[in-house]
Amino acid sequence: MIINQAVLYTHLLDTMKDFYVNSLDFPLTAASPRSFSIKVGESELTFKESSLHTKPFYHFAFNIPANRFMEAKQWATQIVLLNTEEKKDEIYFEAFDAHSFYFEDPAHNIVEYISRHSDCPSSKDPFSSKSLLSIGEINLTTPHVHSVGTQLINSGITVRNNRLLNET
């Protein structure tokens, strides 16, 4: 999936802007006192300032070229600490033929870089932040899975592989 545009909220706007623009080297496409946007391949990600009383956090994934997973992981480890589980800092999803690694940004969002080997194109260029293809996933956390899922389907977002909605 390619998500063309996403808007997320953060209580750490300046810190997040510094992290994504200066540390991860994402191209800044817009900025105001209460928001900023970055280019993520074909997508645009906007962070808006949240209320001081909330600390929203998300999980989202950036698609990377199919042949650049290890290079992307090495690049990321120069900037961030990768999340680990059982001493592993990457995961292979057999059902999707994809490799992923994860890290947290300053607002504790879980950021995923995913190489979908059969769905993402390859690249001849060395990996950099400009190698990212798009935003490929974003979480929606709700206790109302079926009704929200139905709304998404009615809005034109299809369920993966035409499966039924899973309420768990």
> What confidence tens digit (pLDDT) does each residue in 74-87 have?
999 999 999 999 99
| Radius of gyration (C-alpha) of the chain in whole angstroms | 16
> What number is the average pLDDT over the span 19-25?
97
d(CA 3, CA 82): 24
Is the pLDDT assigned to residue 45 strictly greater than 80? yes
Question: Any bridge partners for residue 81, and if so which?
Answer: none
Unique residue bearing structure tokens 């928001």? 35
Q: Write out pLDDT tens, residues 87-103.
A: 999 999 998 899 999 99
pLDDT confidence of residue 106? 97
Give residues with Cβ within 8 angstroms of 138, minimum separation 6.
3, 6, 58, 59, 60, 61
Report CA 137 to chain centroid distance, whole Å. 6
pLDDT band at residue 30, thresholds of 50, 70 and 90?
Answer: very high
Do 67 and 59 meet the contact criterion of CB atoms below 8 Å apart?
Answer: no
Helices (H) and strands (E) in the chain — how many of each? 3, 9
64: which 2 tokens?
């990377």
Residue 139's pLDDT band (cuts 50, 70, 90): confident
CA–CA distance, 62 with 6 (Å, rounded to integer)? 12
What are the backbone angles phi and psi of residue 24, rounded to the nearest 5°?
-90, -10
